[in-house]
Structure 1
């Protein structure tokens, strides 16, 4: 059994495969000026379908509602690719430059880093892993996403994590709605 490090929202993992994946990808060493969180969403859709939406580094707006548009600046959507994301109005940001750091179609893992832009998520690194939920006959996907980010001057770890958690949770809910709609007959 494994517990994630987020004290506000502890997750328990019993499946040995999930424990191994969470241990490998979602336990982070932090500097004193950083915060981290791990968030989980269960989606009532098969893993291959959910992965087909998530893995498209060139099309985050397919499920990330805070993304207005995305342009691939370098690469073909594989590891090392660089994208510029235009953020919807109303957020304290306009653009984000993001690099794809990990993409594993076999293990269903994707990770990216924010490398520029006009926002407060300095040194943001995210990793997302998708897992088949074998309970009750399958057909469901468990999404685990964790991140590490610097705490901006004048802010607290709690406020920084609350801000980032809110965005990630909205993305997860949107991904669930879209994938479940695609999976329904």
Structure 2
């Protein structure tokens, strides 16, 4: 059933139709956290460093709408120093984020990606099926396979970080809910509720 749903999501949102000089692929990851928690990280177009470990800093106008642009500085260790990216798709209800790279010092020319997330059940709990696909020109001197493996490695690293942060947030929210229930039962003042727990985890993720 999950495989059928995955195939449907990919057919609906992740068809790029690459040409001979382009590379394209789809990456899927299953996260043990509800969609709204995972989306709370991804939707922040202005702070991708919250979950993308290779980004050092980001400057943007903090307006989440199609056409918004962000200027990214990369950490050392990558064959790139900067990237200028445009928000090409943004759907809060369907949880879809599209990105196009429009400039910067890197080799990913004509790169665009689509990230979608879909609710699913994992071990009896609310989970998220995270799907990201991309298309990019193959740089001169590189093969299609080399380009695909490089981009997939970056995306997998971002997805792993997103998974860890999201699942950590679930634990914090559960702990906060349990503490709130215990405090209420004892007639005590609640120190941290679920919303506050989310804020704490987001601040930790951003190094605040």
Report the TM-score, using the length of structure 2 for normalisation.
0.79
Tell me, which stretches of 5 or more residues in structure 2 are unaligned? 176-208
| C-alpha distance in structure 2 between counterparts of 1:19 and 1:104, whole Å | 20
* 1:173 and 2:160 correspond: yes
Deviations, residues 29-53 of structure 1 (Å, cap 9, x unaligned)? 1111001010011111111000011
| 8 Å Cα contact 2:32/2:122 also seen in 1 | no
Corresponding residue for 2:205? Answer: none
* 1:155 and 2:142 correspond: yes
Report SS of the residue matched to 1:179. Answer: helix
2:121 maps to which of 130, 134, 143: 134
* 1:69 and 2:57 correspond: yes
Aligned length: 172
Moved over 4 A (4+): none
Report the TM-score, using the length of structure 1 for normalisation.
0.88
Corresponding residue for 2:21? Answer: 33
Tell me, which stretches of 5 or more residues in structure 1 are unaligned? 2-11
CA RMSD of aligned residues (A): 1.5
Corresponding residue for 1:121? Answer: 108
Corresponding residue for 1:105? Answer: 92
* 1:13 and 2:11 correspond: no
Give the alignment of 1:48-67 within 5 angstroms. Answer: 48-67=36-55
- Kindly indicate which of the two structures has a greater share of residues assigned to strand: 1
Compared CA separation, residues 75 and 54, structure 1 to 2 (3 A): closer
